[in-house]
Structure 1
Amino acid sequence: MLPSISRRHALLFGLVGLLYLAVVLAILYDSPLVDLDWSLQQLRPYRQWPGALPYLDIWVIAGQRGPTAIAACLWLGWRCYRSHSARPLLVMGMALLLLNVTVGGVKILTGRLGPHYAHYVGSPELFSGGSIFPSGHTANAVVTWGVLAYLAIRWRRTGAALAALTAASIGLTTVYLGTHWISDVFAGWAAGALVLLSLPLAEPAVAALDRRVLAAWHREGRFARPAPAAPRPRPAA
């Protein structure tokens, strides 16, 4: 049975879902959003400040799943050890699984080519064997840094703001570098946000897995809390 969520949460989930669907339909039906894609691509912003390209390439790495997921999971593994709970890693694993399934599925279905491989000006470049829509960099940045904010014990609002700024800047940087259309980034933001909004619904499954993992670890003698020290005998008066 799914847990209950607030009306505000449900409304936000619905609005983000509609936004995601609107972007997908706008690409499929060759709307003015595709014209905006081409207008930005023809500006070739990466040629304006070529000296900044190496630094921007490094910054975009913060949106790649491999480096960010490894760094985040190392930190969350430490959190698991300190809290005697597998929940931090299980939440991240659940989020990355949802991300891979949902974003990967849309990438396969749309088959969109990126700006550097586009064939015809004004074409949405769909079903051409590409894998650019939605932006995986952007969606991964939303999910990875968003999960860290979701799991934060203190400074959660600050963490959420930093996660949002990081995801926004990484998405826009991919447009500047010419590796993504702006519509890819819009869809990536929405796709990542939907994964984050789905996490509260997955909490019962995470809790059940956490209990099983902890039971297995305790059977193997791991994560066992140290026994309290025996009281010292008082000296005779």
Structure 2
Amino acid sequence: MRTDQILTRLERVFARLDREPERPAHLQTPRMSRHRIVLLGSTLAFYLAIVVAVLTTSWLVRLDWQVMFFRPYEQWPQLHAFLDYLVVLGQRGPTAVMVAAWLGWRSWRQHTLRPLITLGVSLLLLNITVGSVKLGLGRLGPHYATRIGSAELFAGGDIFPSGHTANAVVTWGILAYLASTVRTRRVLSVFSAVVSLSVGATTVYLGTHWVSDVLLGWSAGLLIMLALPWFEPLIAGVEAWVFEMRERQRRRLEAGTVPAPVAALLTPLLSAGGKWQLRPAAAAAGAGADPEPLAVPATASAPATAALAGHAPTPRPAAHLPVRPHLIRSERTPVTPVGSRRPAHTERAAAAARGTAARPATGG
């Protein structure tokens, strides 16, 4: 048997992505320029300085405790309700869904998978770098601090650096990184900077992070955004690999032959989604084969499918059960139950064995 493929919605999506890209002619992929390398080195030095300042319990740790004792959420309680919603812009799940939806639309319009793959690579880098430092230093948050003036390191925590802040920098900064024009890139860069600064300050206001956590979170997210051009060859390779695997699978399904017994078993499953139709091969059908295709309905059963494939199933003998006479209720032999139907009361039985009367359930 050979198969003819009917395009599904996913296949139509890939077919659209196979078309010539409709990118702007002046669109350029960001590269590691000298200016970017200088920014990357400066941010890395700032990152290491914060880590050393916290490890040595310097003035930065004292600032953390001063802000914690100040309790901003008690100084300005009227902002608490609004900032509870604003901090969601730094949560990985909601922001990743929103940005992935927009980048998915960009992929559809520009006929390329680069936006989605770039987002995936950046989030993977974020999880690896920020997660490893969180677990390695194990710092406790302000609400779980144990010793005043201590850095609270290696105590089983996971808040240094701030994940909300780093995620806000990367998730919203990826929009500026993938912008089509220089003007759009500048506008989105300002927007992502405002959002990430607001999210970081909000975590300090709510008391969920130290000031040093937020500073390190900003640095961690900025390092990922500055280093992304080094991963452009990986992004292009992953995109080419996805299309190559899809084409290889398509050629394998179009050129492959399926044995008749396997076809009889798989036809109902493959036809249920409307993706495949079976057509008898000329070599297998012989000289008298019907050249017209055999369209198998989606709801065809296994025997019907096997019959269409030329292999009718062997009928099974009918099972015969022994005949038992049916008696009406009046003809049945009455059966008297033996013993009392009430369950045994262990307390009463014990009281009777001791020869004492049971106490009344109510009364004085």
Question: TM-score normalized by structure 1?
Answer: 0.89
Letter matched to residue 183 of structure 1: S
- Ranked by relative contact order (alpha carbons within 8 Å, sequence separation 6 or more), the top structure is 1
Does residue 170 (structure 1) correspond to residue 196 (structure 2)? The answer is: no
Of 177, 202, 214, the match for 2:243: 214
Q: Which residue is 2:361 aligned to?
A: none
2:178 is aligned with what amino acid? L
1:182 to 211, 225, 233: 211
3-state secondary structure, aligned to 2:133 = helix
Q: Tell me which residue corresponds to 1:53.
A: 80
Any unmatched runs of 5+ in structure 1? 222-237
Q: Hey, what does 2:9 align to over in structure 1?
A: none
Residues 1-237 of structure 1: matches in 2 within 5 Å? 5-154=32-181, 155-217=184-246
Looking at structure 1, the residues matched to 132 and 248 of structure 2 have their Cα atoms a distance apart, in angstroms, of: 39
CA offset digits 1:6-45 (Å, max 9, x no partner): 2221111111001000000100010100001011111001
Give the secondary-structure state (helix, strand or coil) at the position aligned to 1:129: coil
Once residues 48 and 66 of structure 2 are traced to their aligned partners in structure 1, the CA distance between those partners, rounded to angstroms, is 22
Deviation of the 1:5 alpha carbon: 2.5
List alignment gaps of at least 5 residues for structure 2: 1-29, 251-364
CA deviation after TM superposition for structure 1 residue 217, in Å: 4.7
Identity of aligned residues (%): 54
RMSD: 1.6
Q: Could you tell me how far apart the structure 2 residues matched to 1:165 and 1:127 are? A: 32
- Which residue type is aligned with residue 132 of structure 1? I
Q: Are the aligned partners of 1:80 and 1:88 in contact in 2 as well (CA < 8 Å)? A: yes
**1:50 partner amino acid:** P
Would you say how many aligned residue pairs link Structure 1 and Structure 2?
219
Alignment TM-score, normalising by the size of structure 2: 0.58
* Structure 1 stretches of 4+ moved >6 Å: none
Greater percentage in helix = 1
CA deviation after TM superposition for structure 1 residue 51, in Å: 2.7
| Contact kept in structure 2, 1:86 and 1:214, CA below 8 Å | no
Offset at residue 60 of structure 1 (A):
0.1
